[in-house]
């Protein structure tokens, strides 16, 4: 699946989540529901993935997290 195809599915899923929930909820609620919607579409989804800081060749957990990785795109 190309990046454009994945992006199109993410946009469609985002619109569906917003239609179902409407505005005004916490970002975390939309994120959880979007992840669920994408999984229903058959996509691989990872949420709240730790992202260490590399300092002098040492991985340091500084508390950074990636909200969502879909189909392992942009994550190596």
Q: Are 48 and 67 in contact (CB under 8 A)?
A: yes
Q: What is the pLDDT of residue 74?
A: 77
pLDDT at 75 over 90: no
Looking at the structure of the chain, the number of domains it has is: 1
Q: What is the pLDDT of residue 13?
A: 98
Q: What is the pLDDT of residue 76?
A: 56
d(CA 35, CA 67): 10
The answer as to whether 20 is a domain residue is yes
- Provide the CA 27 distance to its chain's centre, in angstroms: 12
Q: Are 33 and 45 in contact (CB under 8 A)?
A: no
The answer as to whether 75 is a domain residue is no
Q: Are 53 and 62 in contact (CB under 8 A)?
A: yes
- What digits encode the pLDDT tens for the residues 26-69? 999 999 999 999 999 999 999 999 999 999 999 999 999 999 99
Phi, psi of 38 (to 5 degrees): -65, -40
Which residues constitute the domain of residue 7?
3-70
């Amino acid at each position: 699946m190309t990046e454009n195809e994945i992006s199109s599915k993410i946009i469609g899923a985002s619109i569906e989540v917003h239609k179902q929930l409407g505005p005004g909820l916490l970002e975390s609620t939309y994120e959880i529901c979007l992840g669920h919607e994408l999984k229903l579409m058959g996509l691989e989804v990872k949420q709240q993935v730790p992202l260490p800081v590399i300092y002098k060749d040492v991985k340091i957990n500084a508390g950074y997290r990636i909200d969502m990785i879909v189909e392992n795109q942009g994550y190596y």
